[in-house]
């Protein structure tokens, strides 16, 4: 008579609360959705909420990290922006504000003798716009409605807002109206942002229309400075628009380890950690 082995507990069915078992894929999807909704997750809190072990949460987060959907941190994870997910401008104005303010101030120190300046979409570029000097004439080109609004009342600054379709998530213009306008310009300095930056894939963003605008900015600018918080490093999004060697300087916070900053420095740009 054939013996039938009794199956042991399945990883996808773990539940310490006595409730209905949750499928592993559903569980990971729930963890990912929570990470994207809140902006980060904590291993302990997530384990308690789902009624599973911390080790299971760690294993799920490691798998999501391997798939490029989250980035692991000590004790948790935060979401990676991708073709299917992008944070809104309203969320960005509440996240890592102190770090972004320091980055903006340091980025403006790189202005030099530039007379024409591009300000990208996003909250850090908006802070750069707010920090620009008021005691000299500047022409600022931007796709960002928020950055344009910050500068329109400044008498010494002329603002050129790129035309096009306005993206509701970032309040920035895209599509051929914007790229056509950029194609006729030569810009002294561009402050460029990205959703991800990596040594292998360069600067990336989730939306092809945004990538087209950023690529045209890179082509139209004599100097380019990337500014962004440390958790953008090592992240890769859908559309690549520049290589690391294309930028003059990287400005980030001290959350980026000095050893990793040096690896980016070896690819060409100055790296400033504040």
Q: Determine, yes or no, domain membership for 262.
A: yes
What is the rounded distance in angstroms from the CA atom of residue 146 to the CA atom of residue 210?
16
Q: Are residues 179 and 256 in the same domain?
A: yes
Total domains present in the chain: 2
82-105 per-position pLDDT tens digit: 656 666 666 666 678 999 999 999
239: enclosing H helix or E strand: strand 239-242
Q: Are residues 31 and 125 in the same domain?
A: no
Q: Are residues 137 and 209 in the same domain?
A: yes
192: enclosing H helix or E strand: strand 187-192
Q: Are residues 44 and 120 in the same domain?
A: no
Q: Are residues 162 and 111 in the same domain?
A: yes
Dihedrals phi, psi of 238, to nearest 5 degrees: -75, -45
Q: Determine, yes or no, domain membership for 180.
A: yes
109-130 per-position pLDDT tens digit: 999 999 999 999 999 999 999 9
Confidence (pLDDT) at 82: 62
Q: Are residues 204 and 71 in the same domain?
A: no
Q: Are residues 72 and 195 in the same domain?
A: no
**Domain boundary, last residue among 44, 79, 114:** 79
Contact 269, 250 (CB under 8 A): yes
What radius of gyration do the chain's Cα atoms show? 22
Q: What is the domain range of residue 230?
A: 89-273
What is the rounded distance in angstroms from the CA atom of residue 50 to the CA atom of residue 59?
14
Q: Are residues 222 and 151 in the same domain?
A: yes
147-194 per-position pLDDT tens digit: 999 999 999 999 999 999 999 989 999 999 999 999 999 999 999 999
Q: Determine, yes or no, domain membership for 4.
A: no
Q: Determine, yes or no, domain membership for 84.
A: no
Q: Determine, yes or no, domain membership for 208.
A: yes
Model confidence, pTM:
0.76
């Amino acid at each position: 008579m054939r013996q039938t082995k009794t199956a042991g507990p399945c990883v996808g069915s773990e539940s310490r609360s006595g409730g209905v078992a949750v499928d592993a894929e559903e569980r990971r999807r729930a963890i990912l959705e929570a990470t994207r909704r809140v902006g980060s997750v904590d291993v302990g809190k997530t384990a308690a909420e789902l009624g599973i072990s911390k080790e299971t949460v760690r294993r799920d987060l490691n798998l999501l990290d391997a798939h490029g959907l989250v980035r692991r941190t000590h004790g948790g994870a935060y979401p990676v922006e991708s073709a299917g997910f992008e944070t809104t401008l309203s969320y960005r104005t509440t996240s890592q504000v102190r770090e972004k303010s320091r980055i903006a101030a340091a980025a403006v120190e790189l202005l030099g003798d530039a007379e024409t300046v591009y300000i990208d979409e996003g909250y850090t570029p908006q802070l750069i716009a707010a920090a620009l000097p008021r005691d000299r004439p500047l022409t600022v080109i931007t796709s960002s409605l928020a950055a344009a609004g910050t500068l329109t009342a400044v008498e010494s600054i002329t603002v050129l807002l790129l035309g096009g379709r306005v993206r509701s998530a970032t309040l920035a213009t895209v599509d051929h109206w914007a790229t056509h306008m950029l194609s006729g310009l030569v810009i002294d300095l561009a402050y460029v942002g990205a959703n991800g930056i990596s040594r292998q894939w360069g600067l990336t963003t989730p939306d092809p229309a945004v990538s087209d605008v950023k690529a045209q900015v890179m082509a139209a600018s004599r100097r380019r400075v990337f500014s962004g918080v440390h958790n953008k490093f090592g992240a890769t999004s859908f559309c690549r628009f520049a290589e690391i060697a294309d930028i003059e300087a990287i400005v980030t916070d001290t959350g980026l380890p000095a050893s990793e900053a040096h690896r980016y420095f070896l690819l060409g740009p100055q790296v400033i950690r504040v």
